[in-house]
Structure 1
Amino acid sequence: MKHSANIPAYRFQDTLNRAFDIFFSLIGLLLALPVFIFIAGLIWLEDRGAILFMQNRIGQKQKPFKMKKFRTMTEAKNRSSGDIQNDSGQSLSEQRAEFETTSKNDPRITRVGRFLRPMHLDELPQLLNVLIGDMSLVGVRPDVAVQEVEYQPQEWIDRHVLRPGITGLAQIDPSVDSMKARTEQDLRWVSRRNTGLYFKLLFLTVTKVSKRNSL
């Protein structure tokens, strides 16, 4: 099944945005290196566990990739990965129901995690995903495989035409309070993407995070 015919092929814009992704992610990684080392030390000192949490997410053209985050939860072995288990005997809807999203007061969140998550510092390693080409700075947020059940088939295909992003329209729009609204904004980015909107969303994201952290 192909993507919708109304999704334009902005080859020049996409190439330009990719160039900006590489430039900004590389600069960001270099500038944030001391922060990376500090956070890694805090995580290791708390429980001697893994520094990074890597989870399969669905990327461009529905290809899975390992999304990187600083680990902010205990290393529970019984958590659902979000991958589709074809041999489980369960329907996709049942597997989606078993996949747990993390609430603010989840007891599995570590002390370091409670410091990192409100400021989105746990997302910093995704700059590596951007640099190597798994993600973009701006795009739709990557879902796990079992979340496919939440979309219409064509919506699922269309939202994966491009690389997923660290931030996007749905993340900076305060009116997005439902799956339907999120999907609408995701598909709006896919169909209307351009370099001007790319920079606007980066600016709005930095402004939003800065205001939240200053409170």
Structure 2
Amino acid sequence: MSTRGLSKGRRHSPKRRGKRVLISCNAKVTEPRYFRALCEELGISGALIHIVTSDAGKDPLTLVRGVAKELERDRNEAKKEGFEPYHSAWAVTDADRFGLSEAQALARRSGVELVISNPCFEVWLIDHRCVCPENCADAKPCQDYAAKVGVIESTDHKRASRSKMKDVSIPSIEGRVREALANADRHNTQQKKLVRDSDPDNKAAYSVWTDAPKLVRVLMEQ
């Protein structure tokens, strides 16, 4: 009896790729540089972490839409090809963008995790050296303080203006992620969390803040 036709009815075990993670950043330099360096420090294979900047500079809603679209495409391909889809998908943005509440609503409907840093991602970088102070509630003071503690540096070494200091100084943060998590917990208070979760556009009520620890803890569990 031929068995050629039987294989069509069998269920095949998915091909394991590990816990794949999608990270879409609203910046072209700082956030991608940080997450690539962190993955290298943690020994995470580049095949498991997909970092994209195709929607860099756009509003949070557009950023989340792009992640949701890629997440759906990957799910369909995974089902068709028999591999595991993304374990999680993240949209990383600063709070100085408009439409955070709309972006959060779409993220929740789409299975996307929205990572907001208020006022900017430098809050999380500062946490690697000290607890980000409350006077970093606006982007420029926060970036100035990040430069002062040495966690960002100029991408143009011929010009030392702080407006150019947008790359991450990896040596200043390397090996300090657990310290950063502890420091973030100190300024990410429960009162701020209530506002962050219910009304992310009310930025003045939950600064300083960063959701980065959620994503970082997922990466640490890889």
Query: TM-score, normalization: structure 1?
Result: 0.29
- Name which one, 1 or 2, has greater alpha-carbon Rg: 2
Query: TM-score, normalization: structure 2?
Result: 0.28
